[in-house]
Amino acid sequence: MTSSLPILVPRLIGGLETNVKGNIHFLSDDEVVYPVGSVVAIHNYHEKKQKFIKLSEKGKNLTHVAVSPDKKLIAVVETTDKYPIVTLWCSETYKKKRTLTLPTDKDIIANRYVAVDFTYNSKNIIVVTGEPDWSLYCFKCDKGRLESFARANNSNNTGTVSQLACNPNDANQLAVIGETVLRCLGCTDYTWRQFGYNKFDPVTYTSCCWLSQDRLMVGSSKGKILILEVGEVRAIFHAMDLPIINMKLKEE
């Protein structure tokens, strides 16, 4: 007479992958999403329960996790030997909805995404490829269709990109920053064009955040904080000198 061994099922997994961008998000007031080990965990910290999204290759190719503003989609971004992929998962059923891949008819060399963000209305997801392409691609979430694309770094193909930020009120506007890169882009008729600030500065921009539809805050590695309105620089602050930033801006 033989007895079957009990099957061990994970209940709670702790830890955090610090090398993954966007490594923790609120999914609701009670749930957070974060990558750990070979899964993305959806943790309800009130009920002390977890659900899991299993990753390919035991999670070793995971680079980003993003959650749509309406909290209905979880984007899992991974690299492969040939090209990067984005997998969209339903946050309610934890089932895969679709996989977004780069078009095969374009001369794409990059094998990773360096930045990813959803538009404010959760209808599109925008990604930026790394070296040597530095290109921006906008996909339709519900169809998985490529809507538009553009150069992400400077128009002369200089600079690198580290972050992408979609406008909080306009799905056709975004900002990209990085080493010598600070660009505000707008899309009309599926074509992205730069507007506002258009100078080359030997500055590494490290972070950016939209404060409103027209106002963008950008930080640099030298501790400078730039405030842009409608794409134009309105004020520059030095982070180490000011405990409070007065947002009643004056023209430079």
pLDDT at 16: 84
Percent of the chain with pLDDT over 90: 78
Give domain status of residue 1, yes or no.
no
Give domain status of residue 36, yes or no.
yes
Mean pLDDT for 89-113 is 92
Full DSSP string of 56-115: GGGGTTEEEEEE-TTS-EEEEEE--SS--EEEEEETTT--EEEEEE--TTS------EEE
Give domain status of residue 20, yes or no.
no
Cα–Cα distance between 235 and 251 in angstroms, integer? Answer: 7
Q: What CA–CA distances, in Å, run from 177 to 13, 107, 140, 207, 242? A: 34, 24, 23, 7, 23
pLDDT per residue as tens digits for the range 180-199: 999 999 999 999 999 999 98
Report whether 192 contacts 204 (CB < 8 A).
no
Q: Residue 89 pLDDT > 60, yes or no? A: yes
pLDDT per residue as tens digits for the range 5-35: 777 777 677 788 889 999 999 999 999 999 9
Give domain status of residue 251, yes or no.
no
Q: Residue 120 pLDDT > 70, yes or no? A: yes
Instruction: Give 130's pLDDT tier (boundaries 50, 70, 90).
Output: very high
Give domain status of residue 87, yes or no.
yes
Report whether 79 contacts 63 (CB < 8 A).
yes
Q: Residue 249 pLDDT > 60, yes or no? A: no
Give domain status of residue 18, yes or no.
no
Q: What is the DSSP letter of 6?
A: P
Q: Residue 251 pLDDT > 60, yes or no? A: no
Give domain status of residue 9, yes or no.
no
Mean pLDDT for 169-183 is 98
Q: Residue 252 pLDDT > 50, yes or no? A: no
Query: Dmax of the chain from CA atoms?
Result: 86
| Six token digits for residue 218 | 């950008």
Instruction: Give 67's pLDDT tier (boundaries 50, 70, 90).
Output: very high
Q: Which residue has the higher pLDDT, 152 or 109?
A: 152
Give domain status of residue 121, yes or no.
yes
Mean pLDDT for 241-245 is 81
Q: Which residue has the higher pLDDT, 250 or 172?
A: 172
Q: What CA–CA distances, in Å, run from 147 to 136, 163, 171? A: 11, 20, 12
pLDDT per residue as tens digits for the range 134-149: 999 999 999 999 999 9
Q: Report CA torsion sign: 203, 25, 172, 143.
A: positive
Amino acid sitting at position 233: V
Mean pLDDT taken over the chain: 92
**Structural domains counted in the chain:** 1
**Domain region containing 222:** 25-238
Q: Which residue has the higher pLDDT, 223 or 105?
A: 223
pLDDT at 11: 67
What CATH number does residue 191 fall under?
Answer: 2.130.10.10
